[in-house]
Amino acid sequence: MSDKPQEPENSERIAAWTAWRWPLVVVILSMFALIAFVYVLRTPERLIESAGKGAAGVAGALENAAANFQRATITKTFTASLPDFESERGGLLELAKVTATESFKSQDELKYDFRWFELSAGTTTTEIRVPVTYRYHLRMRDTWRLDVADGVCFVYAPAIRPSQPPAVHTDKLEKSSDEGWARFNVEEQMMKLEKTITPTIRKYAADERHLAAVRENCRKTVEEFVQDWLIRENQWGDGKLRVVKVFFLGETGPGQEVGVLPAEEPKTD
């Protein structure tokens, strides 16, 4: 038998496939495009959801950090951040220093009493002028207390202490003397006067006159010290703490006297 009668049927199938081939391709491509479009639409939703979780995590971390700076916990948080010092000398925070020229003067008069009259042999006067540098500090291991209210950090710091002994600038020391007409003890008197310098300036270091010269500088140093700590802890700026107010031991408010302990500190260079 011959196959020729089947040729029209095959030709029709080929023609039909040729006619529908490109429409099918278009339909398939459209389906891929639709799937891709839906995926793109859902991506921002997933991103927003993810960002929301991240923001919640950051907010939670900030909330935990802020909790450490409430009134009940800020003192503990601050003191825990201070280094542990093995010795007192290593745990001093220098607050201020001031250099003043001190003057030391001595007079020694000699009189001879006779039966009918008194004779003065003259007065020996010696004077020493020398620059002295006074330094003041606090001990980091002493008691601190911090409070917060309305964006203000109130710091109740340890006592201001004079660093002992003060530094005497002997290279700029000046001496002067005046000897009576019958006196020959200038050198002796000068040596005695020199020996009084160190114990005298140790007392000077803790007196009100010298303290008043450095008090506000000491306060400013502690303010900057605490502010730097707050910045490191991300607790400084808008919406957080904005002001630091410092009171030293013995102060209850502005204008009160500062408590200064006796001169008992280690030597400083």
C-beta separation of 257 from 250 below 8 A: yes
For the chain, the distance separating the N- and C-terminal CA atoms, rounded to the nearest angstrom, is: 125
The pLDDT assigned to 66 comes to 56
The stretch 231-251 carries a mean pLDDT of: 89
The stretch 156-184 carries a mean pLDDT of: 84
The pLDDT assigned to 88 comes to 54
Sign, Cα dihedral of 250, 251, 255, 256: negative
CA-nearest of 45, 93, 98 to 229 is 93
% pLDDT > 90, the chain: 33
- Which residue has better confidence, 183 or 146? 146
The pLDDT assigned to 52 comes to 41
Residue 207 has pLDDT above 60, yes or no: yes
Residue 62 has pLDDT above 70, yes or no: no
Residue 229 has pLDDT above 60, yes or no: yes
The pLDDT assigned to 212 comes to 81
| Weakest mean pLDDT among 41-55, 91-105, 206-220 | 41-55
% pLDDT > 70, the chain: 56
- Which residue has better confidence, 263 or 216? 216
- Which residue has better confidence, 130 or 82? 130
Domain map (residue ranges) of the chain: 4-67, 74-247
pLDDT band at 262, cuts 50/70/90? very low
Distance from C-alpha of 31 to C-alpha of 39, rounded to nearest angstrom: 12
Taking the complete model, does pTM exceed 0.85, yes or no? no
pLDDT band at 198, cuts 50/70/90? very high
138-161: per-residue pLDDT in tens?
Answer: 999 899 999 998 889 999 999 999
4-16: per-residue pLDDT in tens?
Answer: 454 555 566 555 5
| Weakest mean pLDDT among 36-40, 75-79, 156-160 | 36-40
pLDDT band at 79, cuts 50/70/90? confident
The pLDDT assigned to 199 comes to 94
